[in-house]
A and B are shown apart, each in its own frame.
Chain A
């Protein structure tokens, strides 16, 4: 998922508010079509982010697993 225009956020170790909130803030600031990639070691992110993307109408692109953390990508759709 090498995309030069993507916004990358390292949210590893963030517990409260956590990686999903960081993702939501980034999506708010992104332009339509742009991809936001969040790095997370919180097990809940893999479950919550796809659910949130669906609810908010953004495109969930997938999870890349890297051992002790995940890289989760979402494209801003509107």
Chain B
């Protein structure tokens, strides 16, 4: 009987898994022995790391968007629809516009979203660059920037844990080049008692920010924003007046998880840290931002997970073998330290990262990656 693999979410993790499996099992798919279906509520894929460059007018939105169908390997079906509920007992996914989709194996790659409601006043008083609309609005605000006080706040949890640092360091250099840095005050706030949750990154970032004249405000958990008075207030009782508030809003998982009674608080799926299976379900797997794993929510993590998961899915679909390949918590993040230099960190469950000195070469490596990301999604790189 034909084995059916269904993947929900046509983002970084979902597309990569679909393409890795689709290319490996091309013959089986052609012979009708196996089917691979990718379901996504968006018909286009958006490269989110590009938002950071849109803000500074360094990339255009059109460079970040491509139709999902163009990115899929031959033989993979694309269903453009929203999944409403997973019925794990009946092996079915109910959806918004058509009949339920049945599966033998299900992969969940529904990512993470901003939860603006958690902070009263934030939607009215703040800016953010974690959505394309938000990035464009912030870009417009920066085009008119003549100086003043910029306050950056960091909500928890959030994807791409180094983006707040990157934004701050890029903004500093951008303001210098525009000749407004002397009229600009920058406050970088962080929820913990240091500049980053990873100790080695914090040890590196503290002095880097100081050298740029950025004030670091620690133990600042944004609780509310007063848009009329332009004040950001923390749970710890600190008030920060601002002219421009740039927030990394707290994130949550897609509500599909809670409607299906499969997730914990925040809509995160309880996931096995090595096999990536949904706890208590041998035929459901989770990857990318949607898991509850203590790893960064990053595209690189989704990529490394997709490689492991695809190997396991091929074994499961063709031979019924249990997951033999283990994800080891691997993550890789570029860190832009201004407009023409960058560094990177690489780590896993057992090995915390070190931060090498920033170079121009690493910056260009990242620029190149921004333009060839598509090859990575297609699983041809």
Q: Which residues of A contact B (CB under 8 A)?
A: 13-18, 20-21, 24-25, 28, 44, 47-48, 51-52, 55-57
Contact = CB atoms under 8 A, between A and B. Distances in A.
B157 A55 contact: no
B201 to A, nearest CB: 9
B237 A52 contact: no
A52 B193 contact: yes
B198 A16 contact: yes
A21 B197 CA distance: 10
B291 to A, nearest CB: 13
A28 B193 CA distance: 18
B295 A20 contact: no
Interface residues of B, number: 18
A57 B236 CA distance: 7
Main secondary structure of the interface of B (DSSP, over half): loop
A44 B199 contact: yes
A56 B218 CA distance: 12
Interface of B: 156-157, 161, 191-193, 197-199, 219, 221, 235-237, 273, 294-296
B8 to A, nearest CB: 25
Contacts of B296: 16
Nearest to A11: B294
Contact of A13 (B192, B193, B198, B294): B294
Nearest to B198: A16
Contacts, number: 50
Contacts of A44: 199
A15 B295 contact: yes
Contacts of B193: 47-48, 51-52
Contacts of A16: 161, 197-198, 294-296
Main secondary structure of the interface of A (DSSP, over half): helix
A66 B281 CA distance: 32
Contact of B157 (A17, A28, A52, A56): A17
Nearest to B238: A55
A-B interface, 7 closest residue pairs, ranked by CB to CB distance from nearest: A14-B294, A56-B236, A16-B197, A21-B156, A17-B156, A15-B294, A48-B193
A52 B190 CA distance: 12
Contacts of B294: 13-16
Given A16-B198, A21-B156, A57 B237 contact: yes
Contacts of B235: 24, 28, 56
Contacts of B236: 52, 55-56
Nearest to A13: B294
Contact of A52 (B156, B161, B219, B295): B219
Contact of A51 (B156, B198, B219, B237): B219
25 contacts: A13-B273, A13-B294, A15-B197, A15-B295, A16-B197, A16-B294, A17-B191, A18-B192, A18-B197, A20-B191, A21-B192, A21-B197, A25-B156, A44-B199, A51-B193, A51-B219, A52-B192, A52-B219, A52-B236, A55-B219, A55-B236, A55-B237, A56-B236, A56-B237, A57-B237
Nearest to A47: B193
B199 A24 contact: no
Contacts of B221: 24
